[in-house]
Amino acid sequence: MSALLEVTDLTLRFGGVKAVDGLSFEVREGEILAVIGPNGAGKTSAFNCISGFYLPTSGSVVFQGRSIVREVPRLWHSLRLVHLLQSFGFYRVLPSRVTKWGMARTFQNLRLFRELSVLDNVKTAMHANLREGFWSTLLHTPGYRRAEAACAREARGWLDFVGFDDDEELYVGQLPYGEQRRVEIARALATSPKLLLLDEPAAGLNFNEKQALMALIRKVRDLGVAVVLIEHDMGMVMELAERIVVLNYGREIADGTPEEIKADPLVIEAYLGVDDDGAAVDDTRLRTGAVSADAIAAAIGDGAGGASTPLPGTRADQEGDVR
Ligand SMILES: Nc1ncnc2c1ncn2[C@@H]1O[C@H](COP(=O)(O)OP(=O)(O)OP(=O)(O)O)[C@@H](O)[C@H]1O
């Protein structure tokens, strides 16, 4: 499988904070890749750089051979004109363009038009591709009406694909949270992506909804669309992802199959930190069996919708939260 997306040495600073620190990874065509890491590890910041919402401090992002992040000449840096130029669209590719190139995304906090109907929300994703001009739109010419009808048909097709079977004329704001998530995925798919980025798609979903979401993500992959998801539900990640990239403090600390990741001491340490003696859960203690990899993997994962079982005496146990 060839690389669809190549992220190289990506760095994003917020003042003194390095949210993303020299991150490099690639996404292959048609794969399901999970990006995991403790809270604040830089996952969403990386997504925002990749999809054109944030301008990284340095590094490159190449999607289907096209550069999303463009090198800014040193002169502009020294004249401190970088941000001014970028705000006018120079040296950057805007998110709308990235979407046209075939990358779609959803957000950690849903970004739907709550006052629009379900169908209209999905149609908005296709309007950018409508060829009808100003006058035909204003005059509602037969050509415009045909294009609109085709757009509505396609939007219904995507709603059907994601399993939305409620009333398409309801305002999105009237829908339960799980249904809104489906609509957001339908809207992303309506842009005909080659790569779909999902930011915590299972957040707030119950067990059955998570199961349905996993089935949907596999269905999307079967269309030939690569899916990259940020997710805290380790049960879901381990079951769904073909490959996992793990971040900690903005850096990649591991990249491998779910089995490799579960057994990786750095990953375990990143999630569990120190034990009650203040000692890091390190490789030696794992090898000697003082802490078993399986037990820690169970603590990292909470099953798709199930309850988590932190190890006694770990930070997760003390805080009551393994995210
Ligand atoms: N707009 C911002 N301004 C300043 N600092 C920010 C901003 N966005 C994120 N950060 C900081 O960057 C770091 C990475 O945050 P980010 O949200 O990318 O992490 P994350 O892995 O997605 O976390 P979570 O799993 O909690 O969503 C954190 O230290 C965060 O406080």
Task: Identify the residues whose C-beta falls under 6 Å from ligand 1.
Answer: 14, 17, 19, 37, 39-45
Per-residue pLDDT, 109: 76
Q: What is the pLDDT along the chain (323 residues), one digit of tens a residue?
A: 569 999 999 999 988 899 999 999 999 999 999 999 998 999 999 999 999 888 888 889 999 999 887 767 777 767 777 777 777 777 778 888 888 899 999 987 778 888 889 999 999 888 766 666 777 777 777 777 888 888 899 999 999 999 998 888 889 888 988 899 999 999 999 999 999 999 999 998 999 999 999 999 999 999 999 999 999 998 999 999 999 999 999 999 999 999 999 888 888 888 766 455 545 444 444 444 444 455 555 555 544 443 333 333 333 333 333 33
- pTM reported for the whole predicted model: 0.80
Per-residue pLDDT, 272: 67
Look at ligand 1, atom 25, and give the residue with the nearest C-alpha.
Answer: 39
pLDDT in tens, 52-66: 888 888 889 999 999
**What is the Cα–Cα distance from 217 to 266, expressed in whole angstroms?**
28
Per-residue pLDDT, 19: 94
Cα of 83 vs centre of ligand 1, distance in Å, is: 20
**What is the Cα–Cα distance from 314 to 296, expressed in whole angstroms?**
10
Cα of 290 vs centre of ligand 1, distance in Å, is: 33
Per-residue pLDDT, 311: 33
Cα of 285 vs centre of ligand 1, distance in Å, is: 31
Cα of 287 vs centre of ligand 1, distance in Å, is: 33
Cα of 270 vs centre of ligand 1, distance in Å, is: 16
Mutation test residue for ligand 1: of 21, 39, 45, the one with most atoms within 8 Å of CB: 45
Per-residue pLDDT, 275: 54
Cα of 129 vs centre of ligand 1, distance in Å, is: 33
Look at ligand 1, atom 30, and give the residue with the nearest C-alpha.
Answer: 40
Look at ligand 1, atom 31, and give the residue with the nearest C-alpha.
Answer: 40
Mutation test residue for ligand 1: of 12, 36, 43, the one with most atoms within 8 Å of CB: 43
ipTM: 0.94
Mutation test residue for ligand 1: of 10, 11, 44, the one with most atoms within 8 Å of CB: 44
Look at ligand 1, atom 5, and give the residue with the nearest C-alpha.
Answer: 14
Domain with CATH 3.40.50.300 in the chain: 3-102+193-252
Look at ligand 1, atom 26, and give the residue with the nearest C-alpha.
Answer: 39
Per-residue pLDDT, 11: 92
Domain 3-102+193-252 architecture = 3-Layer(aba) Sandwich (3.40)
DSSP bridge partners of 284: none
Cα of 204 vs centre of ligand 1, distance in Å, is: 20
Look at ligand 1, atom 6, and give the residue with the nearest C-alpha.
Answer: 14
